[in-house]
Amino acid sequence: MNAKVVICHYEHPRVDQEREILEAAGFEVLAHRVPTEDDISGLVADADALIVQHNKVGPRVIDAMRRCRIIVRYGVGYDNLDTEYAARKGILCCNVPDYCVDEVSDHALALILALTRGIVRYDRAKGDDDFNYPRAAPIRNSRDTVAGIIGLGRIGSSLARKLAPIGFRLIGTDPNVDAQAMGLLGVEKVELETLCTQAEVISLHCLLDARSRGLLGERQFAMMRPGTFLVNTARGPLVEESALVGALRAGRIAGAGLDVLETEPLRPDNPLLGLDSVILTPHAAWYSEKSIVELKRRAAHEVVRVLKGDKALNPVNSPTT
């Protein structure tokens, strides 16, 4: 089959695995590290499929593609794709939602424990005269701590299964998951406002879209308890960063563990860098050697399925033409 697949703006060192799968299916593969919509638009005119990581794919890119049938986003989130516009143009969009589930939930768990046990506060105090247990006080027992999970999909559910045996009392909110399903995970279903007022640890695991952008802002931080910790391993813009900084500086919440930020990569003037109550990691929650392989292979196989005429496993839109 004479089809062309373009791979754009990937952060992996190579695309050998994708190339092997796609070329074995008879497709031509072109890989480019291009950063802008203008750059991509000049490369995809005759592409039958597009695999992207961080590139924004909006109307400009979509209109430039004369025969594209599928766009696959490397990863779970797909907020960089204009899926509705693509659907109107007859282009299927897919993601890879079932990789890195353990990696991200492990990372969230690690951040939660590092915050609630004062690990980083102790480490930053090493060498000081008062390097002793009160340096991170007060520390609560996990069985006396309420953990709130926002988003009970694959990753949020995985985190719940890891937190429950440690002893955290779990509450959660997700409009797409009913109370019975949450109950099977040991999670009490509540509204967002209730979660913000009751939880002492809040962990974000929802997709970013128009409804969830800025989900946690000044109003929500004002509801939280002074000892609350926030963990975000999902998407940076779920949180209004200026409101978070204000809440941390004012002591309205106790700290944050962030793998994602509103603007990435991390800018040297980001005020979060000056806050000892914040743990930052570089959008690395997804990463393990196994997860990289799974991501690359699953993205390539999705393209093969669709271009060969089979049904996609992970569509995120419904083309209308």
Write out pLDDT tens, residues 204-251: 999 999 999 999 999 999 999 999 999 999 999 999 999 999 999 999
β pairing state of 229-232 and 70-73: unpaired
Q: What tens digit of pLDDT does each residue of 136-187 get? A: 889 989 999 999 999 999 999 999 999 999 999 999 999 999 999 999 999 9
* Residue 80, helix vs strand vs coil: coil
Identified catalytic residue from 9, 107, 205, 235? 235
Task: Tell me what pLDDT residue 35 has.
Answer: 66
pLDDT mean across residues, the chain: 95
Identified catalytic residue from 73, 205, 283, 298? 283
137-140: list long-range contacts, CB under 8 Å, 24+ apart: 138/227, 140/116, 140/200, 140/227
Task: Tell me what pLDDT residue 196 has.
Answer: 98
Percent of the chain's residues with pLDDT above 70? 99
264 in catalytic set: yes
Q: Indicate the pTM of the whole model.
A: 0.94
> How far apart are the C-alpha atoms of 83 and 75, rounded to whole Å?
15
Report residue 17 CA to chain centroid gap: 23
Task: Tell me what pLDDT residue 1 has.
Answer: 61
State mean pLDDT over 301-311. 97
12 in catalytic set: no
> How far apart are the C-alpha atoms of 179 and 158, rounded to whole Å?
17
301 in catalytic set: no
Instruction: Dig out the tokens for 78 from the structure.
Output: 């797909």
CA diameter of the chain:
71
DSSP 210: T
The size of the chain, in residues, is 321
Q: Which residues share a beta bridge with 279? A: 257
Confirm if 102 and 117 have CB atoms less than 8 A apart: no
